[in-house]
Amino acid sequence: MTTENRIEALRQEVRAWLESNVPTGWREAMTNVEQDAFVAAQRDWFVKLSTAGYATPHWPQGWLGGGRSLAEQKVIFEEVARADAPRLILYFVALYHAACTLFECGTDQQREKYLDGILQGKIWCQGFSEPNAGSDLASLRTKAERRGDRYVINGQKIWSTMAQYADYCLLLVRTDNSGPPQAGLTYLLLDMKTKGVSVRPISQITGDDEFAEIFFDDVEVAVEDRVGEEGAGWAVAQATLASERGLTLVELTQRMRYALPMLVQSMRQNGCEHDPVVHRDLGKLIANVDAACALADQYLMKRIMGDEQVGDASIVKLFYAKTLREFAALGVRIGGLQAQYYSGFMRGATQETGHWTLDFMNSYNWSIAGGSNEVQRNIISERMLGMPREPKSWQLAEGKA
């Protein structure tokens, strides 16, 4: 079989499987649902998808579902988007951030210890951001002190998605204050049940509490749960962050494309189906969504060909985040007063639920998290367009906090 035929055969296989396996009515079921039911539903779908081998196409050969080429992975993601399957947000960090970090920087022992657990449904969260370290991640202060064969951790993380459900955490801590900030970071794997860990969910503007604070009070982590050398945490964290680029954006842009008819449905419901002004806005959005899909696709092709350049990923993320906001904003306009009536929230849904005001709030996920739009613009202008970096030295004016 030629490569093209093989890819097409895979597409048909995945499509057929999804047709008979995607839970029907999951959107209704996940609207205003209690947490336990949400966790159960995510787990059910995770088990189904991973048993079929479609949750881990990006894993290496030898692991369930792994060893797929990027082109094959892309097909699986496109089909999942096309089938409007639930998004596995509870397992996102486990399947991507944790797995990719372990594959790239972990030891054999660590891979053995943790990866099977991921396949069995262990949930991971990412503990990088802190109250005083967001965009400037390298300034983080959560401290880990080496005592014999353990690290003792004190400090606080924030905005950690799904931390309240997590079994494990990818933890970035400070082990040294003497050199440049990046050089003093160390990367640890933490069991969330360890003594001294406490989690406090943070209520979001959507009404959901999808992220949380994590507090550390003399929490002990064994040295063998360190990824990379002491002081090499920054480089390991880059591997973690890179894992959500590429395929995820192919899936998300495709989902956005398949969600366009929802806007038409709202137009019909709200009687603006024939409004020429709405037509214009919708037409512009359609083109932007098309461009976002093409960008994500092109980016993946570049990676397949080994042509990726600095800034490419930033362009895709920035453009997606902006288009997603426009999408939701148009939904809000089309929805009119109707969209202002509280309609609850949908757990574990995609970015497009048709609850337009909720979607609008949720679109900030992509413009703030994972390097904000502004940070992406810095990367594009400085590293791609060769414009100068901000001057480093700067001091607070006398008497200011």
Ligand X SMILES: Cc1cc2nc3c(=O)[nH]c(=O)nc-3n(C[C@H](O)[C@H](O)[C@H](O)COP(=O)(O)OP(=O)(O)OC[C@H]3O[C@@H](n4cnc5c(N)ncnc54)[C@H](O)[C@@H]3O)c2cc1C
* Chain contacts with ligand X (rule: CB under 6 A): 125-129, 134-135, 159-161, 211, 365, 368-370, 372, 374-375, 378
Q: Report how far residue 64's alpha carbon sits from residue 57's, in angstroms, rounded to the nearest whole number.
A: 8
Q: What is the Cα gyration radius of the chain?
A: 22
For residue 126, the minimal CB distance to ligand X (Å) is 4
Closest listed residue to residue 345, CA positions, set 127, 55, 27, 47? 27
Residues 146, 184: contact at Cβ < 8 Å? no
Binding mask 197-226 for another protein (x = CB under 8 A): ------------------------------
Q: Report how far residue 144's alpha carbon sits from residue 307's, in angstroms, rounded to the nearest whole number.
A: 39
Residues 85, 18: contact at Cβ < 8 Å? yes
Binding mask 291-310 for another protein (x = CB under 8 A): xxxxx-xx------------
Closest listed residue to residue 171, CA positions, set 215, 122, 118, 117? 215
In 122-263, where do the E strands start and end? 124-127, 143-147, 150-161, 168-174, 185-191, 197-202, 211-222, 226-227
Residues 218, 286: contact at Cβ < 8 Å? no
Residues 292, 335: contact at Cβ < 8 Å? no
Q: Site size for another protein, by CB under 8 A?
A: 54
147 contact choice in ligand X, another protein, none (CB below 5 to 8 Å, kind-dependent): none
For residue 262, the minimal CB distance to another protein (Å) is 5
Between 134 and 231, name the residue whose CB sits nearer to ligand X.
134
| Residue 244 appears among annotated catalytic residues | yes
Q: Report how far residue 64's alpha carbon sits from residue 116's, in angstroms, rounded to the nearest whole number.
A: 9
Residue 190 sits at φ, ψ, to 5 deg, of: -120, 135
347 contact choice in another protein, ligand X, none (CB below 5 to 8 Å, kind-dependent): none
DSSP one-letter code for 127? E
Establish if 315 lies at the interface with another protein (CB under 8 A).
Answer: yes
Q: List the interface residues with another protein, window 82-141 (CB under 8 A).
A: 84
- As given in the structure block, the two tokens for residue 349 are 């849904």
Q: Report how far residue 361's alpha carbon sits from residue 339's, in angstroms, rounded to the nearest whole number.
A: 12
Catalytic position from the list 78, 244, 251, 352:
244
28 contact choice in another protein, ligand X, none (CB below 5 to 8 Å, kind-dependent): another protein
Contact window for another protein (CB under 8 A) among 43-51, 99-107, 142-150, 254-262:
254-262
For residue 40, the minimal CB distance to another protein (Å) is 19
Between 56 and 142, name the residue whose CB sits nearer to ligand X.
142
Grouping H, G, I as helix, E, B as strand and the rest as coil, residue 248 is: helix
Task: Write out the H or E segment, with its range, that includes residue 28.
Answer: helix 26-29
Between 62 and 391, name the residue whose CB sits nearer to another protein.
391
Between 83 and 368, name the residue whose CB sits nearer to ligand X.
368
Contact window for another protein (CB under 8 A) among 24-32, 42-50, 86-94, 196-204:
24-32
291 contact choice in another protein, ligand X, none (CB below 5 to 8 Å, kind-dependent): another protein
For residue 32, the minimal CB distance to another protein (Å) is 12
Contact window for another protein (CB under 8 A) among 40-48, 88-96, 152-160, 370-378:
370-378
Q: Report how far residue 349's alpha carbon sits from residue 31's, in angstroms, rounded to the nearest whole number.
A: 9
Work out which of 162, 163, 212, 282 binds another protein, going by CB under 8 A. 282
304 contact choice in another protein, ligand X, none (CB below 5 to 8 Å, kind-dependent): none
Which residues share a beta bridge with 87?
none
Residues that are catalytic:
244
Q: Using CB under 8 A as the criterion, which residues of the chain lie in contact with another protein when the complex forms?
A: 24-28, 84, 260-262, 264-267, 273, 276, 278-284, 286-288, 290-295, 297-298, 315, 318-319, 343, 353-355, 374, 376-378, 380-382, 384-388, 390-391
